[in-house]
Structures are given as C-alpha cells and as structure tokens.
Amino acid sequence: MNPHFETDTASDTTAPVCDVGVGGMTCASCVGRVERVLKKLPGVAEATVNLATESARVTWQPGAVPPAEWADLPARVARSVRDAGYEARAVDTPDADATPPTRLGIRTDVWPVLLGLLLSAPLVLPMLGDLAGKHWMLPGWLQFALATPVQFGLGAVFYRSAWHALKNRTGNMELLVSIGTTAGWALSTWIWWKAEPGDMVHLYFEVLLGKWLEARAKRQTTSAIRALQSLRPDVAHLLPDGVRRTDAIDVLVAELLPGDTVLVRAGERFPADGRVADGHTQADESMLTGESMPVAKGVGDAVTGGSLNGDGVVQVAVSAVGTQSTLHRIIALVQDAQTGKDKVAAVFVPVVLAIALVTCVGWLAHGASTEQALLNAVAVLVIACPCALGLATPAAIMAGTGVAAQHGILIKDAVALELAHRVDVVAFDKTGTLTQGQPVLTELVPAPGVDASHTLALAARLLADSEHPLAHAVRVAAAAQQPAADAAVVPELVEVANVPGRGTQARWPMGLLEGGQTLPVRLGSLRWMTELGLQLGSLQVKALQLQQAGASVSALAVGPQVLALLAFGDEPKPGAADTIRRLKARGIKVVMISGDNAGAAQAMAERLGFNPHLMDARMEGVGEVLAEVLPGDKAAHVTALKQGGHTVCMVGDGINDAPALAAADVGMAMSNPHTGTGSGGSDVAMHAAGITLMRGDPALVAQALDISRRTVAKIRQNLFWAFAYNVAGIPLAALGYLNPMLAGAAMAFSSVTVVSNALLLKRWRPD
C-alpha cells in the first residue's frame, strides 16, 4: 500500500494532505463511518471519502503536525482505515477498475455471480414451476446443501459489512440484507428439520446479482476519471543541458522538475505542463478541453500534460508537474464533484427494522403461523434495502460531471451543479470572455507638437512589464512601427507601478517638456485622467469620436499634459452572439460587465446581441450593459443582483474576475487560450469558480447550464423511482403479497433501474 501524499499549496499556510484508497465500502453508511474514524486523528481539519472512486483525502490543520512527522501520516491514515474494517491501498490505481483480473478466461468479479447462479438455479426453478402449475420439489437436504454455501460463503461480504455497522452503532443496507436472508435461511432450515413440506426460500443470488450489476454500472459512471488518468504518460525524454536531441534520457515522469527540458516526439503525449522552447507542432487537447480540432503550438506557446502531440518534434520547458499539473487538478475537480453524501441508511435502517417487527407481531396477532409471520417480516427487510435511495443522487452526479468533463466543462462540486439549473441571470465579463481578449492599437493621436513615434516608444517602455492585454497591443505596435535605434532615445523609467482598474504610472527623470525634471508618466483610462484633474484639451473631440466608434480609448500623460490618445479595438469571439441569443431564448437574463467607457462598451454590446438601452425591471433597473466598472466593483454588482432574488452566474477569465466569481451563486472560469490552461489569472479564477470551462468558447456557458438541468432532472427521477419501490414494496410485503424471493428481486432491480437511468446522461452531447 502506497498512499499519495502532498502539500496543500492552495492555502496561504502549508498543510499536509494525504490521499489513500479505501477498499470494501459498499454504501453511504460506509463513507460516513470511514470519515468519522479519520476525523478522530489528531490535528485533522477535514476528511472526505469518495464512494465512487473508493478513495479518501485527509487534510490536517496548518501547524498541527510538525514537518518532521509528515512522513508518518500516510501510515496513520492507513491504520485508521484498517481499524474501521476496510482495506487501505494505493490511491492511483486507475486500471484496477477498468480491467479486472481474470481466472480461466472469466473476470474474477463474475465468478461469484456464476457460482451463485449454479447453486441457486435449482432453488429458483421449483418456484417458477409453481407459476406454471408444475410441482418440482427438491429434497430438503439438497436445498440445504445448495443454499448454505451461498448464504455463508458468497454472502460473507454482507456479514462483514453488517458487523462493522453494528460495531459502529449504525445501520447500512448490508445489515438489512444479512438479517433478512439469515432469517429466511434459518426459517427454511427449521422447517426442514421438522420434516415439514415447504420450499427452501433463498434469495441471496438475486442480491449478489444486483450488487454485481450495481458495481458494474458504477464503474461506467467513473469512466471519465479513468479516461483522464490514462492520459498520464509513464516516461519522459529528458534533455540535460547542452545535449543534442539524440542524447535524450528516458526518465519516469514522476522524476521531472519545473525547469527541465523534455523532448516530445510526434504522436507522443506531453508528459507535463510547460511551454514550447523549440519547434512547431499541433496538439490534440480534445480529452482535456473538448476541442475537436488540433491547436497549433509554436515557441512560447503553453502545452498541457496529457494532450497529444501532432506530427512535429518539439522541446518543452516544464513548468508544472505532479499535483500542480493541470491534468491532476482536472482529475481532482471531477473526483471532488463526484463525492456523494447520503445519510438515508442511518435513519432508514432502524425504521425498517421496526416495521418488520410490527409486521411479524401483527400477523401473529391475527392468527397467522409463526412461519408465515416471519416470512412476511423477512420480505419487508429485503425489499426495504435503501440501495436505490443511496445511489439516486451520487450516480446522477457522477454521470453528469463525467460527461461534462469529456466536453471541457469541469464541475468543481455538486453544489455548483445543482445550483446551475436555477440560474436566471448570467453576467459576462467582456474582455477575454466575450471578445478575443487580444486588442490591437488601432490609432494613436498625438497632441499638437508631440512626436508620435517618440510617444509610442514612451508608452511601450512604460508598459514593458505589464501583462495587461492593452499593454501587449502597445508593445506589438511599437515593435512594428518604431526602429530599435529610435526606441533607445527613451530613458529608463523608475517607480513603475500598476494602478488597478485605472492604468500604469511611473517617474521619468528626463521629461519631454522640461529637461532634467522628474515628472510622473501615466497611461490609463480617460476616467483616471479626469480623477487626476488632467484636461484633454484639443484631444477631447477626437476622444468622443473614437468612443462613439466603439474603440476603447486610453490617454498618455507626462506631468500635467496629456500627450496622446491611444485607441484600441477588439473582436467578438466566434459564437459569442449566438450564445447570448440562446440564453435569452431560454428566458435567462444576460448582463455584460466592462471596464471600458460607455461608448466602447455599448458599441461592442450591440455587436454581441445585447441591448445597451434596455432597463429590465426584473433586474431592479439594471441594464444589459454595465460600463466603466472597476474590477473591485464587479463583485458588488453581482451581489446586488443576488439580493434582488436572482440566481446569478458570473463568467470571467482573469484574476480581476475572481472576487465576482466567488460572489456569484455559480462562478464559471473560462480558460484563457493565450496564456495556457490553468496559469496566471486563469488559475486564480479556477480556484474561485465552481465550474471551469477548459476552452475560451462562450458556447460552453449554455452547455454547462444544460448539463446541470439534465443532471438535476435525473436526480429527481431517480429519487422518485427509489421512493416508489419502497413506498409500494414495503406495504405489499407487510400485507403478505410479496414473498422474500420476489422482494429480493425487486430490491436488486430498483438499484439497477436507478443507475441505468443515471447512465443515460452519458449520451448527452452539446448542441
């Protein structure tokens, strides 16, 4: 057993985290029992157990355990799991569930079912014969010989689980099965010993068959996780410093470190996250982002570990490995979303036992024989097993989150999935979400007497280290229009600082206006210039014209004088307008939030299909376009919409959107294709959001809401059928209309029905 152990780097303080596989769990009651045991470990802050993936994650409080003792924590977790009566094993064993071992060409998990079929068929045939008017009766001793190995051999797993439940003073479905079948076996054996005629009633085969079908269906619901885990390559071609491609050394991917350079040949999977250092290729990222078309990759472009390299040979500089990699985070998000909790069994089991007791006493009071009273009580115990109830919600969530992940929609938790179907307002950040996020400098308008080329060089120097999209546009324009020799005349700027939501400022020791002076240099929004008391002067009319044309306008000022206007343009993303139209057609209100001036924001809004002049009373007078919104104010606007009684979804792509994503009922973080999946601002947004969209495609917003609606519908259907089986079955069994065999078959069929209904979600495809 080799548990996975890591450090929680998402928090501000370091805290140890341990992942361990847990074998032997069968229901939600088992999950609760393991969690309670793990939470009793000294210093544990949180323990989460996932029934679908049969794994547990334990997080300790920061500082609760000295770093010198961290190496002992996996052993403590494993021992606690074993003390609870379960098997501790390695957590990263994706192939175990995908391809079970075989014996004599037959899978080992099928052998118990086949053996149960062979032993139970002779017991079932006489009962089927009775329905046809035939009386095929086996001798009592033969019935006993056939039933006993199934009861205590194949059924030992039920007894073990029931015993653990009793020791922990709780109830689970195996406890009901054990009590019911043992009572049926004991009653039939008593009848045989008394030499009285009667059938040897046995139903364990039906239970085993149902459990096997249930486990098989559960493996299908976790297929998305196994598919993602299979993307991990085992070996990487490491390039030591200064060697040729032919001298690459094969090492295990687990040995890679950030900063290493690896060689990726055509047709291989990228072993880790990084950036292309040499070469050109195309990457197939369909399993990670849902994007069906290969994506071109050149020097400097980000690549994601697990994606498939095309026909090029490239060198990749590794940036993230192991638990910090995008693939690991995706798998963790899907697993966390599939962690289902169900507390039905703990309450349901005592109630069913009480109903069974009342049934037995009631039949005896009405003069029925002891055998008849016990048979009816046993039927109540068997049909009331809460298997279907326990599977109703987790099975649908597993299937829904799994198929969503295959199409580039990562759902962080079940709460986000269940809330998304109620969304009635979707708020979009503009830049990078609805637009390409790659603005270009369309026009530079200098003030009278100011040299345009020197002004552009000054702006590029000021924004040399900025990551803002507008800064990139300025640098590109300067590189294309300004010769390097002329750029050198602009001196170094000092005290360069970003002013959030406004622009960038610095100090210039040699001003353009008065030599030798140290003057402030600022480049930012016109709103900022107004706040600083700076006047546009003769540039005022031109600024209004540019804004009315839809441009985003900034100003460059040195000291008290505005030297130039810089106009930027952006283009809508393909499909953005269609997404807005689809959301409106569903009755969902849409809002665009932008930091641009009103003219630029409204011009882009009209191209996207928004109505900038619409004031919707149902949104408390909030229009479809909110302009000149500072990053810190986005969250306030989202909160105001929520306070108006709306369920709000916020869609953004950068670090400035994180507060608004966290404030919304459902936050959707859109991966930025220009910076790479899960890096920079996109990474911060992913942590703040409940849903991550792995492609920069606005259509994923409508698709995420759609899969949420369908998943919640499946949950409701499953709960209806699960309750229907119990509501109808328990009274019928108590009144004597169901014998234990039919009750066992109905119980097994209810679980299969619920899981099969959930699996229909795997057929979902985006519009």
So which residues are the catalytic ones?
A: 429
Q: What is the crossing angle of helices 740-759 and 387-406, to 10°?
A: 20
Tracing tokens 């693939």 back to the chain, one arrives at 327
- The CA distance from 698 to 652, in Å, is 10
Query: Residue 332: CB partners within 8 Å, gap ≥ 6?
Result: none
- The CA distance from 147 to 143, in Å, is 6
- CA-based radius of gyration for the chain: 33
Q: What is the crossing angle of helices 173-193 and 204-221, to 10°?
A: 160
Query: Residue 191: CB partners within 8 Å, gap ≥ 6?
Result: 140, 198, 371
What is the torsion angle, in degrees rounded to the nearest 10, for the CA atoms of residue 505, residue 507, residue 508 and residue 512?
60
557-580 burial, b for 16+ CB within 10 Å, e for fewer? Answer: bbbebbbbbbbbbbebbeebbebb
3-class state of residue 210 by DSSP: helix
Question: Cβ(513)–Cβ(559) under 8 Å?
Answer: yes
Q: What is the crossing angle of helices 387-406 and 699-734, to 10°?
A: 170
Q: How many CA atoms lie within 13 A of 43 on its CB side?
A: 18
Q: Is 457 exposed, middle or buried (0-12, 13-18, 19+ CB in 10 A)?
A: buried
- The CA distance from 743 to 366, in Å, is 23
- The CA distance from 392 to 345, in Å, is 13
